[in-house]
Structure 1
Amino acid sequence: MNEPLQVKAYAAADFASTDQALVERLDQLLRDADRWPAHGDCLIDLGCGPGNISERLARRWPRCTVVGVDAAEQMILEAEDRRRQNSIPSDRLQYVVAPLPWHAPSSQASLIVSNSLLHHLHDPQKLWGCLRPLAGSHCLVLHRDLRRPSSSAELDQLCECYTADAPELLQRDYRASLHAAFTVEEVKEQLRDAQLDHLQVRELEDRYLEISGWITGCQAGLDQPSA
Structure 2
Amino acid sequence: MKRTPEPELMETMEQAEAYDQADFSEAHGKRVDLFRERYGRELAGAVLDIGCGSGDILERFAKKFPKASFIGVDGSEPMLELSRRRMAKAGLSKRMNFVRAFIPSDDVPKQDYSVIMSHSLLHHLHEPSVLWNTVKQLAGKNTFIFVADLRRPISEKDVARIVEERSGEEPEVLKQDFYNSLCAAFTAEEIEAQLKQAGLKLKIEEVGDIHVLVYGAL
| TM-score (norm: length of structure 2) | 0.90
Q: Deviations over 1:126-175 (max 9, x none)?
A: 10001122222211111111111111221121112112111100111111
Q: Are residues 1:15 and 2:24 paired? A: yes
Aligned to 1:178: 182
1:154-193 → structure 2 map (5 Å cutoff): 154-193=158-197
1:20-169 → structure 2 map (5 Å cutoff): 20-31=29-40, 35-38=41-44, 41-90=45-94, 92-103=95-106, 104-169=108-173
- Structure 1 regions of 5+ residues with no counterpart? 216-227
- Structure 2 regions of 5+ residues with no counterpart? 1-9
In angstroms, what is the RMSD of aligned CA positions?
1.4
Larger RCO (CA under 8 A, 6+ residues apart): 2
Seq. identity, %: 36
| TM-score (norm: length of structure 1) | 0.87
Tell me by how many angstroms 1:2 deviates.
1.5
Q: Distance in 2 between matches of 1:200 and 1:137?
A: 17
The answer (yes or no) to whether the contact 1:45–1:53 under 8 Å persists in 2 is: no
1:211-222 → structure 2 map (5 Å cutoff): 211-215=214-218
**CA shift in 2, pair 1:89/1:178, >3 Å:** closer
Q: Deviations over 1:103-124 (max 9, x none)?
A: 5434221111111110100010
Q: Deviations over 1:48-94 (max 9, x none)?
A: 1111111122222222211111100110011111111222133x111
Tell me by how many angstroms 1:36 deviates.
3.3
Counterpart of 2:31, as a letter, is L
Q: Are residues 1:207 and 2:210 paired? A: yes
SS at match of 2:140: strand
Q: Are residues 1:2 and 2:11 paired? A: yes
